[in-house]
Amino acid sequence: MDSHAIISALAPLVPGAAYEPGASVDFATVYVPADRLVQTGVALRETRPLRFTALVEVTAADYFPRDPRFEVVYHLYSLARNHRLRVKVRVPEEEPWVHTLVPLWKAANWLEREVWDLFGLRFIGHPDPRRILLYEEFVGHPLRKDYPVDKRHPLTPERDPIQVGWKV
């Protein structure tokens, strides 16, 4: 299934969404408006001809100094149809957030936390928006293009979770 066929299937299911096909060398890519991401996710998962039941990956790209600066990228897989789909959402630097897809795909939980941790993109409605790879005292988001390469972070003292307990 190519991008145009997927857009044709989505258009009547999500009224008012302006989808765009994306350039790709491997599998279909569709740009989704940020305000229609959740409805599009429901349509992609629940519609019989599509049935993208597996969320494989969530990542992001920083195109600094372009505007919009970021893209959140979702890789979906249809077990029933053996199709792959890349969904991209453009995110401006001034409002670096999209709605979470955890209610649709549980796999989004840790993957969205990773994107938050490394790129600083928030997922509204996420059930556990804590850092996942870096320690809590870490300042900044190291995969942003404007993150200083030579920035040093002080090492934090090791914590004994039995004596001190973990922050919740």
Q: Does the pTM exceed 0.85?
A: yes
Domain of 64 in residue numbering reads as 3-124
- Count of domains observed in the chain: 1
Q: Give residues with Cβ within 8 angstroms of 96, minimum separation 6.
A: 69, 70, 120, 121, 122
> Looking at residue 164, what is its pLDDT?
66
Q: Is residue 154 part of a domain?
A: no
Q: What is the CATH number of the domain that holds 40?
A: 3.30.460.80
- Tell me the average pLDDT across 127-154: 87
Say how many C-beta atoms besides its own lie within 10 A of residue 123's C-beta: 22
Q: Is residue 76 part of a domain?
A: yes
Q: Is residue 159 part of a domain?
A: no
pLDDT band at 65, cuts 50/70/90?
very high
**Distance in angstroms (rounded) separating the CA atoms of residues 50 and 166:** 42
Give the side-chain half-sphere CA count within 13 A for 59: 8
Q: For residue range 151-164, what is the model confidence (pLDDT) as tens digits?
A: 877 666 666 767 76
- Tell me the average pLDDT across 21-25: 94
